[in-house]
Amino acid sequence: MLLRVEHVSVRFGGIVAVNDSHFTVRENEITCLIGPNGAGKTTLFNLITGFLTPTSGSIYFRDKNITGMKPETIVRLGIARTFQNLRLFNDMTVLENLLLAVPGRHNQSIIRPLFLRRHLRKAEDEIINRAMKTLEYVGLGGKALEITDNLSYAEQKLLSIGRLLMTEADVLLLDEPASGLDKNSLDRIMPLIQDLRRQNKTILLIEHNMDIVRGIADQVVFLNQGQVLGIGTAEEIMSNPALTEIYFGGGAHHGEGA
């Protein structure tokens, strides 16, 4: 029970975006969050990662109450996320995107660049080494100095996962990693995500494509209108007529917008 979302609700004015959601994410598993558009999936991501504070309920990570903590603190504790629209630093190089994700005080230090430059340079070299290895791992070796804006969409998605890896977070929240990708690109990304589980990461991902979900999910959480309507394996969820009705009656199963 690595991550526990307990009876979490959030309301904006009169709108209840997430309503008493309750589920757990187990260590070293891939959990898929599915549901029609507007079900509140990305809102849940925002709640877990501290970009939103729930109006009621709590979130526990490794039995520690992380409700209401700031996003940067939660990342340091070990939960990191991607965004649907990637939010890469497009004007910076691929390498710089990775370097920015490394935890530690050196990113905020002005003492080191002023007085401890040799020390800083050594530390930077180590980080660059790690970044290059990560680049190789996600399949972007050789693109280190490329300006991020010039990458293809699929490459940018790979980079966003690479960035996540640099944070050394154990729990990775992926917001629609497969959306907008063709079959070739999917064949690059999906094995990568599965390999992450082998690397002892825990994954929570938002996905619309049921084939993909069936292929990789250890657990599926079905969300509609902010409420958790079902938790189980992919088969259990998909064989529930009430849920499939909502799902295929309501939203598209490929594409953007959660």
Partner 1 sequence: MNYLYDFVTLLSIYSILAIGLNLMIGYTGIFSMSHAALMGVGAYTSALLSKKLGFPFIVSLICAIAMAALFSAIISIPSLRIAGDYFIVASMSLQIIIYEVFVTWIDVTNGPAGLAGIPRPSFFGYTIATPMAYMWFSVFMLALVVIAVHRVIHSPFGRVLRAMKEDPIAVQSLGESVVRAKVTSAILSSAIAGLAGSLYAHKVTFINPSTFDVHESITIAAMVILAGAGRVWGPIVGVLIIMAVPELLRFLEISGSHIGAIQKAIYGLILVLLMMFRPQGIFGKFQDSTLGVKKHAAKS
Partner 2 sequence: MELFLQLLVSGLALGSLYALLSMGYGLIYGTTGEFHVAHAGIFTFTGYFGYIAHEKWQLGLPASIVIATVFAALMGVVLQSLFYEPMRRKNASHLTIFIAALGLMIVLENVASIIFGYAPLQFTDNGLKSPIRLKLFSFTPLQLVIVLTAAAVTVVVLLYLKKSRMGKAIRGVADSPEMAKIIGMSPQKVHIAVYALGSAISAPAAVLLAFDSGAVPYRGTMLILLAAIAMILGGIGSPGGAALAGLILGLSQNLALLFVPAEWANIFTFTLFLIIIFLIPTGFFGVKMAKKI
Three-state DSSP class for residue 215 = helix
User: In 137-198, which ranges are E strands?
Assistant: 171-175
Considering only the stretches 19-27, 109-117, 194-202, 214-222, report the one whose residues sit in contact with partner 1 under the rule CB under 8 A.
Answer: 109-117
Secondary element (H or E) of residue 245:
helix 241-250
Partner from partner 1, partner 2, none contacting 180, C-beta within 5 to 8 A by type: none
**Residue 208 lies near partner 1 (rule: CB under 8 A):** no
Complex with partner 1: residue 26 or 119, whichever CB lies closer: 119
**95-113 core/surface letters (b: 16 or more CB in 10 A; e: else):** bebbbebbeeeeeeeeebe
**Residue 52 lies near partner 2 (rule: CB under 8 A):** yes
Q: How many angstroms separate the CA atoms of 210 and 7, rounded? A: 26
Partner from partner 1, partner 2, none contacting 46, C-beta within 5 to 8 A by type: partner 2
| C-beta of residue 30 within 8 angstroms of C-beta of residue 203 | yes
Q: How many angstroms separate the CA atoms of 21 and 5, rounded? A: 7
Complex with partner 2: residue 31 or 46, whichever CB lies closer: 46
22-51 residues near partner 1, rule: CB under 8 A: 49, 51
Considering only the stretches 13-21, 22-30, 72-80, 230-238, report the one whose residues sit in contact with partner 1 under the rule CB under 8 A.
Answer: 72-80
146-to-62, 87, 95, 151, 211 alpha-carbon distances in Å: 38, 17, 8, 8, 33
Partner from partner 2, partner 1, none contacting 256, C-beta within 5 to 8 A by type: none
- The residue type at 125: D
**Residue 18 lies near partner 2 (rule: CB under 8 A):** no
CB of 151 to partner 2, least distance (A): 25
Complex with partner 1: residue 15 or 110, whichever CB lies closer: 110
**Residue 129 lies near partner 1 (rule: CB under 8 A):** no
Query: Among 35, 36, 40, 50, which residue interacts with partner 2 (rule: CB under 8 A)?
Result: 50
Q: In terms of C-beta distances under 8 Å and separation of at least 24 residues, what long-range contacts does 240-247 make, across chains too?
A: 246/35, 246/36, 247/34, 247/35, 247/36, 247/222
Q: How many angstroms separate the CA atoms of 106 and 110, rounded? A: 8
**Residue 92 lies near partner 1 (rule: CB under 8 A):** yes
Complex with partner 1: residue 107 or 150, whichever CB lies closer: 107
CB of 89 to partner 1, least distance (A): 5
Inter-helix orientation angle 117-138/153-166, to 10°: 130
Partner from partner 2, partner 1, none contacting 53, C-beta within 5 to 8 A by type: partner 2
Please count the residues of this chain forming the interface with partner 1, following the rule CB under 8 A.
36
Q: Beta strand 202-206 with 171-175: parallel, antiparallel or unpaired?
A: parallel
Which residues form the interface with partner 2 (CB under 8 A)? 46, 50-53, 71
